[in-house]
Every structure is written in structure tokens, then in C-alpha cells.
Structure 1
Amino acid sequence: MGIIQEFKQFAFKGNVMDLAVGVIIGAAFGQIVTSLVEDVITPLLLNPALSAVNADKIADLSWNGVKYGSFLSATISFLCIAMVLFWLIKGANRLTRTAPEEAATPAPPSSTDVLLMEIRDELKKGHSS
């Protein structure tokens, strides 16, 4: 098999295409979440909270050249994004959740299993007598 044939087989398998679609959808979803955090949650919730504790410019905080404010800002952004993702995924799971299925009844034993159980039982009878 030639290298081009192998590449075609690899590149156009369903798994590779599904992965590519997933990455593209994930990037678009990431933009939605980032916009939600930066454009909605931060102005409505985070900025007023930071103003209340006189930390409006948290990213500008530094000490002896160490910009710990940038780290704090990135950490707060991460926590906000993680919380929004948690809420979105929890909501999506609630929408897609199906009713609990009835307790699955075990399948009846196959004819081979029945035969093996009979042999086992006969062997037990033979050893006990």
C-alpha cells in the first residue's frame, strides 16, 4: 500500500473527521464562554465586587517587580470560566437526561450454561454421597 493510500485511509476515517469537528465546535464554544464571562459576568458581578473591596485594578498590583495582580486576575478569570462551564454542562445534562430505565433483568442462561450447571450439580451430588 502506497504512502498516499495510507494517508487517505488515515485522514478520512470517521474518527479523524469527528475529532476535527469536535475541535472546531470546541473553539467556537470557547469563544461563547469567554464572551459570557468577559462581557456579561465580569461587568455585572466581578467588577462591582472588586470595587467594593477597592481592588478595581487587580491586574496592576505588583510588589518589587512581581506582577502578582496579573496572576490573581488570571486565576479569577479561570474560576469564573470554570463556574460558567459547570453551569452550562449541568444544564445540558439536565436537558439530555432520560428517565431512569427499568432495572435491567438479566438474560436467561444459554443452553450451554444450563448444561454446564446440570453437570456441576451432578458432580456435586456424586462427591457428597
Structure 2
Amino acid sequence: MFSSLVQQIMPKFVVQRTLYEVRERHSNMYSWSALILANILVEIPYYVVLGVMTFAIFNYTVFGVRSSEDQGLVLLFFVYFYILAGTFAHMVVAPLPDATTAGRVVTILFPMMILFSSVFQTPIALPGF
């Protein structure tokens, strides 16, 4: 779900970046970093709504009603997932020329992100501090 969500975000950003490069970069009205920051900040409310909807559909059908702390934590995980996908998509597609190349890079980076974040490690195999 992460990879497909990221690959759906990237073509929209490429269109906005192309429009910026043609129209706004030469007039120096605002910088490149303002474009990226605005794109990320504008999408965060949508990610929150999407996270709440996904939480309502998934949590109650799979887990049922649990304690408020558990439900709040799961809701934050869902919202964080969508915010992570959006910012990851912008991070990957911003320096690359098109969405196709960025899609190939995402296909390589996502498994590496999962492998190095200790998702596949058992608790015993994790290093101690």
C-alpha cells in the first residue's frame, strides 16, 4: 500500500514542479523550497482525514473496541503512515526528472527502509542499549 500510494502522489507533484519551473522560477516570486514545503503542508489535512477513515474502517473491523489509549495510538500510526508516504514521495521525486524514474527508485528504497528499520527483526535480535 505504501509504494502504490507514493507512486500516485509523484505524477501530481511533477506537474506542479513543471509549472513552477516554467512560470515561477524565472520571475523569482518564491523559492523552490517554498514550493516543496507548501505541497507537503497543504496535503497534511488530507492525510489526517484519510488516516481517520482508514482507522475507522480497519481498527473496528479487525480489533473491535479496545481501550482508549490503544485506539489513540493506532490512530496516530495510521495518520503517521500517510504523512510518511507523502513526505517520502516528495523527497524522492523532487530531485529526479520524472515520475517513472522516481517510481523505480521508490521500488528500491522502500524495501531498504523496511529492512533497516528493524521491522523484520525479532525482539531478541534487536541490539541492546
Normalised by the length of structure 2, the TM-score is: 0.38
Structure exhibiting the larger radius of gyration computed from Cα positions: 1
Higher RCO by CA contacts (8 Å cutoff, separation 6 or greater) = 2
Task: Give the TM-score taking structure 1 as reference length.
Answer: 0.38
